[in-house]
């Protein structure tokens, strides 16, 4: 039988089960111990697993990533929480120049996970709302995942912990307690590198991930009443990309919209557009379009943040333009 969990509960349950399953799994981060984490993902963990496996760290992301990398090199499986994804900038050097390159240099596995609570919609302003995935998409040696549902959140967390590479786990703060979904009671993983068709369609493909999946599904439902049949492909894994699923969807519909919460310029959508152009140009019946956040810091004021971010209304507008092309 299945059970129903919120997105944040699915993440928490995956961590708990993996810590029970493997004594080499441990957690480290700011305020994750007795306090239970800024978002309460690790509430109760310190009492159950103890301070040696649920480690409160100093307020220094470089130290967190460095300690996790060292532990991974000697066979542990650390899960490091960066309280807000924005602060990963302080640990950028450790992650990009050390964690990502150790296997390439020494042939030593680095099985670590970095949890990155990301995104806007929570009125957190410019220092607590960014989506930094594009920075790391360019770095060989890192894997990137971005779940959009409780099922995927739990399955991808388990897969990330069991993987022998550094995995950046981008979790949407906006989705934490806003969505629920059915989760199998039995153990399962979601394979890293495999996209998922969240809605089948024949007229236009929307390729997206994270919060963008929900805007796109809402838009697809609106357009279904106009006899526009939209397919929504949830990437789930950003690196490695499931190019087979991307190209298959494009070849079926011949029109493509790329949607992500990250800012437009330099976003992952641009690279996917280039891949589609290189491999599927002859199948396209319209230019590839993108919907993303504006090229600006995330505003604090709710009205400005709403204007800044993508949403279902903006996705609907772009899809109508593609349909009319």
CA–CA separation, 72 and 255 (whole Å): 43
CA–CA separation, 11 and 127 (whole Å): 23
Q: What is the pLDDT of residue 1?
A: 72
- Ordered domains of the chain (ranges, CATH): 2-184 (3.40.50.970), 196-324 (3.40.50.920)
CA–CA separation, 105 and 157 (whole Å): 26
- Phi first, then psi: give them for residue 191, nearest 5 degrees: -65, 130
CA–CA separation, 92 and 101 (whole Å): 13
Q: Please state the rounded mean pLDDT for residues 120-126.
A: 95
Cα four-point dihedral sign 265, 271, 273, 278: positive
Q: Please state the rounded mean pLDDT for residues 221-227.
A: 97
Q: What is the pLDDT of residue 263?
A: 98
Q: What is the pLDDT of residue 88?
A: 97
Q: What confidence tier does 195 reach under pLDDT thresholds 50, 70, 90?
A: very high
The tens digit of pLDDT for each residue in 16-54 reads 999 999 999 999 999 999 999 999 999 999 999 999 999
CA–CA separation, 72 and 165 (whole Å): 9
The tens digit of pLDDT for each residue in 266-315 reads 999 999 999 999 999 999 999 999 999 999 999 999 999 999 999 999 99
CA–CA separation, 254 and 301 (whole Å): 39
Residue whose entry in the numeric block shows the structure tokens 């240099």: 105
Mean pLDDT computed over every residue of the chain = 97
Partners of 5 in the β-ladder: 181
Number of neighbouring beta carbons within 10 Å of residue 282? 7
The tens digit of pLDDT for each residue in 196-206 reads 999 999 999 99
Q: What is the pLDDT of residue 228?
A: 97
Q: What is the pLDDT of residue 213?
A: 98
Q: Which of 46, 128, 214, 260 is catalytic?
A: 128
Q: What is the pLDDT of residue 216?
A: 98
Q: What is the pLDDT of residue 6?
A: 98
The tens digit of pLDDT for each residue in 47-95 reads 999 999 999 999 999 999 999 999 999 999 999 999 999 999 999 999 9
Q: What is the pLDDT of residue 230?
A: 98
Task: Mark whether 128 is an active-site residue.
Answer: yes
Distances (CA, A) of 135 to 30, 157, 271: 23, 21, 13
């Amino acid at each position: 039988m299945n059970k129903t969990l919120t997105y944040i509960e699915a993440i928490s349950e995956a961590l708990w089960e993996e810590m029970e399953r493997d004594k080499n799994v441990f957690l480290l981060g700011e305020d994750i111990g007795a306090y239970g984490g800024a978002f309460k993902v690790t509430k109760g963990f310190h009492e159950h697993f103890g301070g040696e496996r649920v480690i409160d760290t100093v307020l220094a992301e470089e130290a967190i990533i460095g300690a996790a990398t060292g532990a991974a090199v000697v066979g542990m499986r650390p899960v490091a929480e960066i309280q807000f994804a924005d602060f990963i900038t302080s640990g950028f050097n450790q992650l990009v120049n050390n964690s990502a390159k150790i296997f390439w240099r020494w042939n030593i596995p680095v099985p670590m996970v970095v949890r990155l609570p990301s995104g806007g919609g929570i009125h957190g302003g410019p220092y607590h709302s960014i989506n930094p995935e594009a920075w790391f998409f360019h770095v060989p040696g890192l894997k990137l995942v971005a779940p959009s549902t409780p099922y995927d959140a739990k399955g991808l967390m388990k897969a990330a912990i069991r993987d022998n590479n550094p995995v950046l786990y981008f979790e949407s703060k906006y989705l934490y307690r806003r969505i629920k979904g059915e989760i199998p009671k039995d153990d399962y993983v979601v394979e890293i590198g495999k996209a998922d068709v969240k809605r089948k369609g024949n007229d236009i493909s929307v390729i997206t991930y994270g919060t963008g999946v929900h805007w796109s599904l809402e838009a697809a439902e609106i357009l279904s009443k106009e006899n526009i049949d939209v397919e929504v492909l949830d990437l789930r894994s950003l690196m490695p990309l499931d190019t087979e699923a991307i190209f298959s969807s494009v070849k079926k519909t011949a029109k493509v919209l790329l949607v992500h919460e990250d800012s437009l310029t330099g976003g992952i959508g641009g690279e996917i557009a280039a891949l589609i152009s290189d491999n599927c140009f002859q199948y396209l019946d319209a230019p590839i379009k993108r919907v993303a956040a504006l090229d600006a810091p995330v505003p604090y004021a709710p009205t400005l943040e709403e204007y800044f971010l993508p949403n279902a209304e903006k996705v609907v507008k772009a899809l109508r333009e593609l349909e009319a092309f």
